Structures are given as C-alpha cells and as structure tokens.
Amino acid sequence: MKTLRVLAACTLFAAVLSAQQRFTPPKTQLKVGDEAPDFTLTDSDNKPVKLSDFRGKKTVVLAFFVAAFTGG
C-alpha cells in the first residue's frame, strides 16, 4: 500500500511539473536503466518519503504522463 502511495505521489509530482510552462529540467547524463537520483516527496498523510527509503527493499516505478490532468 505504501508503494502505491509513493507511485501516486511521484505521478502527481510529474504532472505538476509538466504543467508548469517555465520549468527547465536539470541537465543530466541519465540513460535508460540508470539509477534514479534521490528525491523527497510528501505522501497522502503529508509525511516526507524519500526514494532512497525503498532502495533494495521494494520495486519503485516512476511514471511520467505528458499533459496528464490538463484536459488537453
């Protein structure tokens, strides 16, 4: 259940970022299959959750949906 909360939080975070016109993604050398950099988001109980909390314990899927929740 906690994994689903993290996945939902990551999806929401990605949707918010994609909706911002002035957002410039950071320069990165990441390639498909590389380990994701650590980040922290709040869960549905407003508690911080770090990606690194799951490293080696759970499978985490990061999904990005372009224009999600924008109606377009």
Is 72 part of a structural domain of the chain?
yes
The whole-number pLDDT of residue 20 equals 53
Per the model's pLDDT, the better-predicted residue between 10 and 49 turns out to be 49
Cβ neighbours around 49 below 10 Å, total: 19
- From the list 32, 56, 34, 41, the residue with the least C-alpha distance to 6 is 41
The whole-number pLDDT of residue 22 equals 62
Q: Residue 16, SS3? A: helix
Report yes or no: 18 and 64 within 8 Å, Cβ to Cβ.
yes
Is 1 part of a structural domain of the chain?
yes
pTM of the model: 0.44
Is 28 part of a structural domain of the chain?
no
* Overall number of domains in the chain: 1
Per the model's pLDDT, the better-predicted residue between 46 and 35 turns out to be 46
Is 27 part of a structural domain of the chain?
no
Is 29 part of a structural domain of the chain?
no
Is 30 part of a structural domain of the chain?
no
* Domain of residue 10, residue span: 1-21+37-72
**pLDDT 10s digits, 5-35:** 888 777 877 776 666 556 566 677 888 888 8
Question: Across all residues in the chain, what is the average pLDDT?
Answer: 78
